[in-house]
Amino acid sequence: MTVNRRQFVLASGKYLVMSAAASRAVGYVLAGSPERAPGYSAHDHWWAMAIDIDLCIGCGGCVRACKEENDVPLEPFFFRTWVERYHVPEGDIEHPMVDSPNGGYDGFPERYREGDGSKNFFVPKLCNHCAHSPCVQVCPVGATFESPDGVVLVDKDYCLGCRYCVQACPYGCRFIDPRTHSVDKCSLCYHRITKGLTTACCEVCPTGARTLGDLKDPSDPIHEFLRTNMVQVLKPQMATGAKVYYADLDGSVR
């Protein structure tokens, strides 16, 4: 059989295209099960956090622990978690005063007076690890994603630093790390929870105001928390599927 130049070029082109497609397909098959961390099966967990407003004393321990555990820049405005102080004046619940000096890192110097009829409380905040996350939807390169165990994570090596997600997050939970110029946010201490530990903020919280919970574990105390408290998520009207559940959350909280 003789092959002329035209036939040779056509045939080799065809095989090249087909083998490229086949190698991709084989790659998917070989990747197999998504269990990557040893001894940890991502599909057996669905992480959430329970926050009891009435237990938070605004000590800022969570903020300090988070910055240390996750190497967050110490300057103000870079927080993976922070605590807000709410002051709701009497008869004016529409206009609460909210402050968060250094995110609560140094505690809260007294600012208000007792007996003025106001309502005062602390609100710890962090990434809500939304199941339908706006920040994930806008990422143009797939550098942020919802993991199989329900944690919104960042692929720092893949992030372009375009800041779309910073604007998309309705809770203001993201920032650009000034050292790497890639985005950073609460990872729900993914390096800890995949090893059976709790998050750094939950570890050091002295009153148990915040607790990590696994919604796929029927014996996890978070189920009792959700059952026995009036719980709410932040900005439910945005339908983000937020998984940070607040007990006794005041309607003035934004």
Partner 1 sequence: MRELFKDKEHLVRMAGLFGVGLLVFVVLRGVLIPADFGDLGHYRASALDDNSSVELRFAGRAACELCHDDVAAERAKSAHRSIACEACHGALAVHADNPEAVFPERPEATPLCVACHEANVTKPAWFPTVIPDEHSEGEACDECHMPHAPGFEEVGSDG
Task: Pick the closer one to partner 1 by CB: 115 or 237.
Answer: 115
Under the binding rule (CB under 8 A), the answer on residue 153 touching partner 1 is yes
Tokens 């993201």 correspond to what residue? Answer: 174
Cβ atoms of residues 246 and 233 within 8 Å: yes
Task: Pick the closer one to partner 1 by CB: 23 or 219.
Answer: 23
Under the binding rule (CB under 8 A), the answer on residue 120 touching partner 1 is yes
Which one, of 143, 146, 153, lies nearest residue 131 by Cα?
146
Burial of 27 (0-12, 13-18, 19+ CB in 10 A): exposed
Cβ atoms of residues 140 and 162 within 8 Å: yes
Under the binding rule (CB under 8 A), the answer on residue 187 touching partner 1 is yes
Under the binding rule (CB under 8 A), the answer on residue 78 touching partner 1 is no
CB of 31 to partner 1, least distance (A): 4
Structure-token pair, residue 204: 């050091």
Tokens 């007990």 correspond to what residue? Answer: 247
> Which residues, 6 or more positions from 232, have their beta carbon under 8 angstroms from its beta carbon?
245, 246, 249
Contact pick of 146, 231, 238, 241 for partner 1 (by CB under 8 A): 146
* Number of other CB atoms surrounding residue 45 within 10 Å: 20
Binding mask 199-228 for partner 1 (x = CB under 8 A): -x--xxxxxx--------------------
Q: Which stretch binds partner 1 (CB under 8 A): 19-27, 74-82, 168-176, 228-236?
A: 19-27
Under the binding rule (CB under 8 A), the answer on residue 254 touching partner 1 is no
Q: Which of residues 86-115 bind partner 1 (CB under 8 A)?
A: 86-87, 107-108, 110, 112-114
Under the binding rule (CB under 8 A), the answer on residue 192 touching partner 1 is yes
CB of 208 to partner 1, least distance (A): 6
Structure-token pair, residue 79: 């927080």
Buried b (16+ CB within 10 A) or exposed e, 74-87: eeeebbbbbbbbbb
Binding site for partner 1 (CB under 8 A): 13, 16-17, 20-21, 23-24, 27-28, 31, 34, 36-37, 40, 42, 54-61, 65, 68-70, 85-87, 107-108, 110, 112-114, 120-122, 142-148, 153-158, 187, 190-192, 194-195, 197-198, 200, 203-208
